[in-house]
Amino acid sequence: MQPDDVPAGPAFDAWRIGSCEGAAALDRPTRDQLAWIAGYALLAPTTHNTVPQRFELREDDGALALWVAREAILPESDPVGRQATVSLGCVVENAAIAGAVLGFSAEIEPLSGTNAVRPRHDGEPDLVPVVAVRFRAGGERLAPGWLDAMRHRKMVRAEYDERVHVPPALLEELVATVGALYRGLTLHVLTDAPTRLFLGKFQELADTTVINRERFARELGDWLLPNDSDAGVGMRGREFGLSDRSTLRMHLGLRGEEELLPDETAGFAKAGNVGMRTASAVLVLTAAEDDFAHRLAAGRAYERVALRLVEAGFCAAMHAGITEVEAPNMALRGRLRTRQRPTVVFRVGRPLHAEDGQRPHASRPPLDTLLVGRD
């Protein structure tokens, strides 16, 4: 069954992918299977919905290679490419999970471009190969329910219902999963009210800091699109709960084409604060090193945890401000009493107003526009 929060139109067709149940696993995937796996990988979240990944279907060695389009790495919000790398990690995880539903295990091989996941400078190539996901028959076959979770998952940026609790056994399972599967990462669980309040304030501070930087605001405005946009990338205001009119105001205002009232920018930052404060839990993935391998792993771990939460009836929203702006990042590190860097921060819960959980999915470009490479 397809989720009923998927709008009509080609920009949302990616979510209407089939489940292809019962397909037999040969020694390695066919080209059709690689394309199907890429279709699920496309449903993974990416920062600002920039969809920086490109897919190479390598039938000869049964691999899906991911390239990055550096034009899609945002210089203001992501100057060192951390957010793009975490995004690629989410893409890798969806691919690995879709492959495991078909009966393939996945091996991850870094390619030449791992140092190149950062904004493109003049004269540099745009497309670089970053990582290959190589599939072979064997390993633990995952249930098709994971496909449903990938099709249903979306960021739910609503106010949550703080009376809801995530079962402690589920939280323990998530911590154990991250510890077992992703080397150098730790999942921290924060549920107490004072910490959520503190994180909400820091999130608001981080968002206020960046939104008041003209170039950052302009970049955000470029990616925050009117609700009737038919673009395959970018975020629509309705995904943040904004009306058509407020979305247009924010889109034009952030781009400097209309004057925004102080209340309008403050409201945007405030929403993150309320979201954090009302979450059932705030989860933080910290990494032993701030390098490509750990950022990629953090994206993989986030996506696996987010899908497990969807399966259990919860939703999540990511907050990159705290991970990118240094002062709040240090404060969070202090609260967690860790030397590891907070690399992904997200809140978990259920929307206070059920209708907020029904906000439409984000768009995606057609898969065939993202294919690159030899085939």
Q: Which of residues 45 and 99 has its CB atom nearest to ligand FMN in the complex? A: 45
| 102 and 151 Cβ atoms separated by less than 8 Å | no
CB of 363 to ligand FMN, least distance (A): 8
Q: Which of residues 108 and 235 has its CB atom nearest to ligand FMN in the complex? A: 235
- Token pair for residue 121? 């400078």
Q: Which of residues 134 and 319 has its CB atom nearest to ligand FMN in the complex? A: 319
Spell out a b/e string for 85-97, using b for 16 or more CB atoms within 10 Å of the CB, else e: bbbbbbbbbbbbb
Q: Which of residues 25 and 225 has its CB atom nearest to ligand FMN in the complex? A: 225
CB of 169 to ligand FMN, least distance (A): 26
Q: Which of residues 301 and 320 has its CB atom nearest to ligand FMN in the complex? A: 320
| The residue type at 253 | G
Q: What is the DSSP letter of 325?
A: S
Q: Which of residues 237 and 321 has its CB atom nearest to ligand FMN in the complex? A: 321
Which residues of this protein are in contact with ligand FMN, per CB under 6 A? 45-49, 83, 86-87, 90, 154-155, 157, 235, 318-321, 362
CB of 155 to ligand FMN, least distance (A): 4
Residue closest to ligand FMN (Cβ): 45
Residue 261, C-beta contacts closer than 8 angstroms, at least 6 positions apart:
none
Collapsing DSSP to helix, strand or coil, 30 comes out as coil
Q: Which of residues 165 and 215 has its CB atom nearest to ligand FMN in the complex? A: 215
Question: CA–CA separation, 306 vs 349, rounded Å?
Answer: 11
CB of 249 to ligand FMN, least distance (A): 18
CB of 349 to ligand FMN, least distance (A): 15
Spell out a b/e string for 203-222, using b for 16 or more CB atoms within 10 Å of the CB, else e: bbbbbbbbbeeeebbebbbe
CB of 15 to ligand FMN, least distance (A): 9
CA atoms within 13 A on the CB side of 60: 4
Q: How far is CA 123 from CA 120, 129, 225, in A?
A: 8, 17, 29
Is 18 exposed, middle or buried, given 0-12, 13-18 or 19+ CB atoms closer than 10 A?
Answer: exposed
CB of 250 to ligand FMN, least distance (A): 13
CB of 14 to ligand FMN, least distance (A): 9
* Largest interatomic CA distance in the chain: 60
Residue 278, C-beta contacts closer than 8 angstroms, at least 6 positions apart:
159, 160, 161, 162, 196, 349, 352
Q: Which of residues 134 and 347 has its CB atom nearest to ligand FMN in the complex? A: 347
| 271 and 210 Cβ atoms separated by less than 8 Å | no
CA 45, 299, 115, 74: dihedral to nearest 10 degrees?
40
Q: Which of residues 348 and 362 has its CB atom nearest to ligand FMN in the complex? A: 362
CB of 57 to ligand FMN, least distance (A): 22
Report which secondary-structure segment, H or E, holds 54. Answer: strand 53-58
